[in-house]
Amino acid sequence: MRSFKERNPVPIGVIGTVVLLGITALVYFWGDLPGISGTTYEAEFSEAAGLRADDEVRVAGIKVGEIKDVELDSEHGYSRVLVTFRVDDTWIGDHTTAAIKIKTLLGRKFLALHPTGDEEQDPDTRIGLDRTATPYDVTQAFEGLADTVGDIDTGQLADSFRTISDTFADSPEHVRSALDGLTSLSHTISSRDTQLAQLLANTRQITTTLSGTNSEFDKLLDDGKLLLDELNNRRDAIHKLLTGTTDLARQLSGLVADNQKQLGPALAQLDQVTDVLTKYGTQLDRSLQLAGPYFRTLTNITGSGQWLDTYVCGLVPENREPCMPKRPSGGAK
């Protein structure tokens, strides 16, 4: 049997490359393998309502899968939306209903399932329009309101209200008051037309901006959830820390209270000592200045060994003059 080094490296390299590519493809498409990643179903909706791939699929508020694809249904003339979703370890009945619901106020959606029926739903049979529902989108409602109000002819509306008021001019007093109110309202709307249009345009811009930053808000909420979970996990440690701090404060208070009689006189005496030091501070500074040269000379005398190293100046008359201090001029002799 030939050793590994003696074999042709080309077939070995080809086989190794094919095996690596197969393992890579298996890992990449693991979630799409039948019988391993749950069961895949399809549902028909009248509109997508902002539902996207990778959004959650929930049953009773619990995530059981995710959206695989959202596309137009070519079998019905592209008039419907076909949603393909996958569920894991969840029973789906043949009368199960599906609804697109709002996950966050910023427009994120999820697919809610309500499993019902006597038999299990066939994965090859779609969930029809009669068993699906879409939500009321607030963002689209605001955008539609802005477009509708922008198309209103406010001048014509004011003229209409004015004509109605003139028509009912001979009506009873309470009718005329109501119509006068309508006239005032029409004038107000007409005079504020530009401001109202600007307000609605700004509302549309705000909703669009918030919808575009939906992922950042989701991340912020997720981070807040992680923080709360960590605090909850460390609740016992934080409780022990606070309890220990309280006990320490109580013991210190008791210690001060028990030694109040000894601490009081000691602090009073310490106050007297500080007063004395403050009063004689100048003398103490002078004493320290004079003590410096003395201790320096004493160190020089005794620092050479176990003897005193010094000399006597002026012991003989011939050497007396250098040792005599100089007297100031004009002084007494």
Q: Tell me: the pLDDT tens digits for 136-166?
A: 655 555 555 666 666 666 677 777 767 776 7
Higher-confidence position of 91 and 224: 91
User: Residue 311's pLDDT is what?
Assistant: 66
User: Residue 113's pLDDT is what?
Assistant: 92
pLDDT band for position 260 (cuts 50, 70, 90): confident
Q: Is the pLDDT of residue 41 over 60?
A: yes
DSSP state at residue 326: P
61-78 per-position pLDDT tens digit: 888 988 998 888 877 777
220-235 per-position pLDDT tens digit: 777 887 888 888 888 8
pLDDT band for position 317 (cuts 50, 70, 90): low
- Vertex 136: Cα angle to 132 and 141 (nearest 5): 145
Residue pair 143/173 in contact (Cβ under 8 Å)? The answer is: no
Q: What is the pTM of this model?
A: 0.38
User: Residue 242's pLDDT is what?
Assistant: 86
Higher-confidence position of 45 and 16: 45
Residue pair 39/123 in contact (Cβ under 8 Å)? The answer is: yes
Domain ranges of the chain: 38-136, 140-212
DSSP state at residue 46: S
User: Residue 197's pLDDT is what?
Assistant: 72
Q: Is the pLDDT of residue 330 over 70?
A: no
User: Residue 33's pLDDT is what?
Assistant: 57
Distance CA 310, CA 296 (A): 13
Q: Is the pLDDT of residue 26 over 80?
A: no
Provide the 10 A C-beta neighbour count for residue 42: 16
AA letter at 323: C
* Tokens coding 115: 């499993």
Q: Is the dihedral of CA 94, 99, 104, 106 positive or negative?
A: positive
User: Residue 190's pLDDT is what?
Assistant: 67
Distance CA 81, CA 74 (A): 9
User: Residue 333's pLDDT is what?
Assistant: 47
Q: In terms of Cα–Cα distance, which of 103, 150, 134, 138 is closest to 208? A: 138
What is the mean predicted confidence (pLDDT) over 25-36?
61
Residue length, the chain? Answer: 333
CB-hemisphere CA count at 13 Å for 247?
6
What is the mean predicted confidence (pLDDT) over 310-332?
62
**Mean of all residue pLDDT scores within the chain:** 77
User: Residue 267's pLDDT is what?
Assistant: 79
Distance CA 231, CA 235 (A): 6
